[in-house]
């Protein structure tokens, strides 16, 4: 007879523990794996779709943009502007949070306990008496109110200055965005003018190359002269292509500053003419010292450090807190189930290892450092005003020179065209002189653009970054 027996062996504790740990860790490990590539693919696709849709909704196809249009779009969609606006809202919330220190606090505690058997006491020998109910419920209401806590006032004042700084930083960021967009806008216009001039030069070089190639075929000029004309054509064509690529890059950067897709297409036209501020250099410096946002920010930083000194002094003062509490219990063995407790709490640091003294001294040193940083900002602003004022003067003089050179080139072209109509000069000479006139015209446009950039830089350092755009509604959607 055959017998079959099934046996069971109890696993070792270490083996069982390892099995349980592995079983519990498996879903945790599988859940912690981050699908990095999938997340990157999803974000990249969604980002491209969103930014292309936003670009198409903001800029109409083929619609030319003026300077004020570019600024309006940038102030609405620029990521730096959006970020500092979020920072300003956070500073406001932090200030409101600091105000909560002045308000009373209410704490509610609820406890519930149940025993399987009612607790008894054998204090009477063989007899047992109940100690309290088998189930208990206690509710405690505790209200605390600051009566004299000087630190709360100074903390709230610091948060107020922080909120003001965040608002000033947002305003300063907008002014810098206006300056950056202005500079890039005129840079794009300069490249547009350069492209037109380069195209005129390529046309003149093409005519010269064809003319010399024909002369070379007839044996009227040497072959190296024809090769030289071809090299000139290739060089001017390469410069034209480089200018076109530079223009594409510049417009991509401008679109990026506007918070739009760098792959978008935008056409620019000259628009608003900025008016430079009048007055002597001393008057401009005084205006900058009164209106530049950097100095207003430095003032708030000094005020914060001054409040920090007061806060350090407050550590030496007592703090008084009033409190009131009410307790309710369901214990039927208690004679008074409800009772109030009131009182006044005082806190005074008597000896803390001289930490408060050293903190006060450190606060005074930080306040002095804030004063020095403000002096540095004042000097930096003064130097920026001087530099911007001098650059604007240089740009104006360069514009006068460019205009005079352009007038001479235009007169020469008029003379050459008269000779060309009489048959005294060949077409290549006429085209070359015309290309030279176009080049000088480009220099005039560039000089005028540089004057506008210098004006924008001076307005920015004066704290008047929006001057010249007062009629624009920056909150309106473009």
Helix, strand, coil: what percent of the chain each, to 5?
Answer: 65, 10, 20
Return mean pLDDT, the chain: 84
How many domains does the chain contain in total? 1
Rounded percentage of the chain residues whose pLDDT exceeds 90: 33
Q: Is 85 helix (H, G, I), strand (E, B) or coil?
A: helix
How many other CB atoms are found less than 10 A from the CB of residue 162?
A: 19
As a whole number of angstroms, the distance between CA 73 and CA 58 comes to 8
The answer as to whether 21 is a domain residue is no
The answer as to whether 226 is a domain residue is yes
pLDDT of residue 296: 93
Q: Which of 378, 174, 386, 177 is nearest to 295 (CA)?
A: 378
Q: Which of 136, 234, 115, 257 is nearest to 187 (CA)?
A: 257
Statement: residue 8 has pLDDT above 50: no
pLDDT of residue 92: 92
| Both tokens assigned to 14 | 């270490």
Statement: residue 466 has pLDDT above 80: no
pLDDT band at 241 (very low <50, low <70, confident <90, very high): very high
pLDDT of residue 420: 76
pLDDT of residue 154: 85
pLDDT of residue 62: 65
Mean pLDDT across the stretch 251-274?
88
The answer as to whether 80 is a domain residue is yes
pLDDT of residue 463: 86
- pLDDT tens for 321-335 read 888 999 999 988 888
pLDDT of residue 12: 46
The answer as to whether 10 is a domain residue is no
Q: CATH code at 276?
A: 1.20.1600.10
Cβ–Cβ under 8 Å, residues 395 and 454: yes
Out of 5-9, 426-430, 459-463, pick the least confident.
5-9
Task: Using DSSP bridges, classify how beta strands 127-130 and 135-148 pair: parallel, antiparallel or unpaired.
Answer: unpaired
Domain that holds residue 326: 63-461
The answer as to whether 23 is a domain residue is no
Statement: residue 351 has pLDDT above 90: no
- pLDDT tens for 301-350 read 999 999 889 888 888 888 888 889 999 999 888 888 898 988 888 887 77
Task: Using DSSP bridges, classify how beta strands 338-347 and 120-124 pair: parallel, antiparallel or unpaired.
Answer: unpaired
pLDDT of residue 25: 56
pLDDT of residue 437: 85
The answer as to whether 58 is a domain residue is no
What pTM, to 2 d.p., does this model score?
0.78
As a whole number of angstroms, the distance between CA 30 and CA 129 comes to 58
Highest mean pLDDT among 169-183, 411-425, 454-468: 169-183
As a whole number of angstroms, the distance between CA 100 and CA 116 comes to 44
The answer as to whether 222 is a domain residue is yes
Rounded percentage of the chain residues whose pLDDT exceeds 70: 89
| Both tokens assigned to 119 | 């607790």
The answer as to whether 37 is a domain residue is no
As a whole number of angstroms, the distance between CA 377 and CA 366 comes to 16
């Amino acid at each position: 007879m055959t017998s079959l027996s099934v046996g069971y062996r109890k696993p070792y504790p270490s083996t069982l523990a390892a099995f349980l740990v592995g079983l519990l860790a498996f879903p945790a490990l599988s859940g912690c794996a981050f699908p990095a590539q999938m997340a990157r693919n999803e974000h990249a696709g969604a980002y491209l779709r969103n930014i292309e849709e936003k670009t198409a909704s903001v800029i109409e196809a083929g619609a030319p943009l003026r300077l004020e249009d570019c600024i309006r779009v940038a102030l609405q969609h620029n990521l730096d502007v959006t970020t500092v606006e979020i920072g300003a809202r956070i500073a406001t919330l932090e200030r409101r949070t600091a105000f909560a220190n002045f308000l009373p606090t209410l704490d509610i505690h609820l406890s519930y306990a149940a025993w399987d058997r009612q607790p008894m006491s054998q204090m009477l020998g063989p007899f047992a008496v109940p100690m309290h109910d088998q189930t208990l419920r206690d509710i405690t209401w505790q209200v605390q109110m600051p009566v004299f806590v000087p630190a709360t006032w100074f903390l709230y004042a610091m948060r107020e200055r922080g909120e003001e700084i965040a608002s000033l930083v947002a305003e300063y960021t907008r002014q810098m965005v206006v300056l950056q967009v202005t500079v890039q806008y005129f840079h794009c216009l300069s490249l547009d003018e350069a492209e037109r001039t380069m195209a005129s030069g390529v046309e003149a070089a093409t005519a010269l190359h064809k003319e010399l190639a024909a002369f070379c075929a007839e044996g009227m000029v040497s072959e190296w002269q024809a090769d030289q004309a071809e090299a000139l054509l290739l060089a001017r064509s390469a410069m034209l292509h480089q200018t076109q690529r530079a223009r594409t890059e510049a417009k991509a950067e401008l679109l990026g500053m506007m918070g739009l897709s760098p792959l978008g297409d935008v056409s620019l036209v000259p628009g608003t003419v900025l008016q430079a501020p009048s007055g002597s250099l001393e008057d401009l410096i005084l205006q900058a010292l009164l209106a530049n946002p950097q100095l207003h920010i430095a003032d708030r930083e000094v005020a914060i450090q001054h409040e920090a000194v007061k806060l350090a002094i407050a550590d030496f003062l007592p703090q008084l807190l009033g409190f009131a509490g009410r307790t309710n219990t369901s214990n039927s063995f208690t004679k008074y189930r409800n009772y109030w407790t009131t009182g006044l709490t005082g806190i005074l640091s008597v000896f803390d290892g001289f930490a408060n003294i050293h903190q006060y001294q450190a606060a005074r040193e930080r306040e002095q450092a804030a004063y020095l940083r403000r002096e540095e900002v004042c000097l930096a602003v003064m130097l920026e005003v001087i530099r911007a004022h001098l650059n604007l003067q240089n740009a104006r003089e360069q514009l006068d020179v460019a205009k005079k050179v352009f007038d001479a080139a235009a007169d020469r072209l008029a003379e050459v065209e008269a000779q060309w109509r009489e048959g005294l000069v060949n077409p290549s000479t006429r085209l070359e002189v015309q290309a030279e006139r176009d080049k000088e015209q480009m220099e005039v446009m560039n000089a005028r653009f540089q004057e506008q950039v210098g004006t924008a830089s001076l307005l920015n350092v004066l704290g008047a970054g929006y001057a010249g755009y007062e009629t624009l509604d920056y909150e309106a959607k473009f």
